[in-house]
Amino acid sequence: MLISSPAPIIAALQLPPFKGVQPRSIAWYEDFLFSNASIFVDAGITSIKVQDETREPGSASIQTVARMSALGSAFRKQFPKTELGIIVQAHDGEAPLAIADAADAHWVRLKIFVGAAVNAEGMRNALNVSATQYRAAIGRPDIKIYADVHDRTCQPLAPVANETAALWAQNMGADVLVITGLSFEDSILRVHAARAAGVKRPIVIGGSVTAGNVRAALDAADSVIVSTALLRDGAAHDDFNLWDKDKIARLIDAAKL
């Protein structure tokens, strides 16, 4: 299951949290996943990132690993030609890889791969050593690591230049870098700076991509992750029909793939 480079457009599908005031069965989550993923697949999207948004005080819980593994495996059977990425909300370098291994997913996304940062949930330290060592231990070098470089949902604890952090991520084992600035324009500047500094790995722009700027994004980077720009107006977070088919079609057409 080797993949050489990311798909030009990656759709992000967020799952409602597994814990909270409204507990739901695994069957509900599977129906939610299939219903929303099928909208992307039918529109021509070839890569989907399934995102767990269950907040954890530490590493991913047993429930998160079990449910994401089951849902990922069901996804691969339902959509065998669609590339699958895995991300978990918990700060954990091993759980996403364990899930990807069990589900036969293609890649994982790790938000804080190098350095140290603080976000709304507290301090976060680099995941690169635990992730790369665990991937080697389970014998799955084919599961690619998509590593964020200074993800905009957190603040670095030291003033490390974005391009320096990008080189760190490349040197510490990331297969693909995810770069997301404070604005779309900032993302483009960061991508160019990373390339000028010597980054050779594929680069994904992780946010603020729309039909109006997707072509510019793909001229600078190898891929984009899109979610918010494709939401159906008025859709609730747990809607079985989250995505606007016309918005997806306009994005794909604007990308000129």
pLDDT exceeds cutoff 50 at 202: yes
Q: Which two tokens stand for residue 246?
A: 């016309």
Q: How far apart are CA 144 and CA 24, in angstroms?
A: 31
pLDDT band at 2 (very low <50, low <70, confident <90, very high): very low
In a domain, 31, yes or no: yes
In a domain, 64, yes or no: yes
Output the domain CATH number for residue 24. 3.20.20.70
Other CB atoms within 10 A of residue 74 CB:
16
Q: What is the pLDDT of residues 222-232, one digit of tens each?
A: 999 999 999 99
Q: Which two tokens stand for residue 50?
A: 């399934």
In a domain, 4, yes or no: no
What is the Cβ-side half-sphere exposure of residue 115, based on CA atoms within 13 angstroms? 26
Mean pLDDT on 62-90: 97
In a domain, 54, yes or no: yes
In a domain, 34, yes or no: yes
In a domain, 208, yes or no: yes
Q: What is the pLDDT of residues 12-25, one digit of tens each?
A: 999 999 988 778 99
pLDDT exceeds cutoff 60 at 189: yes
DSSP annotation string for 169-210 = HHHTT-SEEEE--SSHHHHHHHHHHHHHHT--S-EEE-S---
Q: What is the pLDDT of residues 170-188, one digit of tens each?
A: 999 999 999 999 999 999 9
Number of domains in the chain: 1
In a domain, 1, yes or no: no
Q: What is the pLDDT of residue 28?
A: 97
Instruction: Give the residue numbers spanning the domain of 139.
Output: 9-117+125-255
Q: How far apart are CA 140 and CA 192, in angstroms?
A: 31
In a domain, 2, yes or no: no
Q: What is the pLDDT of residue 121?
A: 81
The pTM score is: 0.95
pLDDT band at 1 (very low <50, low <70, confident <90, very high): very low
